[in-house]
Amino acid sequence: MTERPALPRRVYIDQTNMRGHVTGIERVALDLFAPERLAPHEVRALRSPSLLRMMLDQHIAVPARGLADRSALFVFPGFPPGPLALALGRRCVTYIHDTFLLTRPQDLNWRARAYMAPSFALAMRLGRTFLVNSRTTGEDLRRLCRRDALVALLRPAVRDVFGLAGLAGPAAYV
């Protein structure tokens, strides 16, 4: 029996936390989940214009969209999903860069301790589908997430950001 290829689906990428300056982690997320990388799926970025709107979108608007669009996937590559988004089950896909929010609380600022860490802890406890950037992160996540969760490796491509690809190999050591 042969498996049929999956039909294209709508994929919502949560970018509600991205405004103004883009951090390194956000840049990785933008590259990794760009529409051309996820083709032939229909990719829709979800953005928020302000901090207040981001919180409303993460906790109410995104989960509501998930209830309305029952065949779509929802990818959370930056901030962890809000509690109601976790009700989307396997359609709620969280990309994990590291487990820093739970393993290094002493290094977090007050905003991360108050908002990010509790959301991340809940997502680890209730989430069912995770993508990780390394085997080490996957092993760390396995210690924190539910036993039946899917933890899959999705490594970002390495780009030649310094334009060194055309250079000759290393010089001989003299």
Cis (ω within 30 of 0) for the bond into 81? no
Question: pLDDT in tens for each of the 174 residues of the chain?
Answer: 566 667 889 999 999 888 877 877 788 888 889 999 999 999 999 999 999 999 999 999 999 999 999 999 999 998 899 999 999 999 999 999 999 999 999 999 998 899 889 999 999 999 999 999 999 999 999 999 999 999 999 986 666 767 777 777 666 665
Structural domains of the chain, with CATH: 10-153 (3.40.50.2000)
Cα angle for residues 83, 149, 140 (degrees, 5° grid): 95
Output the six-digit token pair for 156.
């970002």
pTM of the model: 0.83
- What gap in Å lies between CA 123 and CA 87, rounded to an integer? 10
- Ramachandran region of residue 92, left (φ > 0), alpha (ψ -120 to 50) or beta? beta
pLDDT number for residue 78: 84
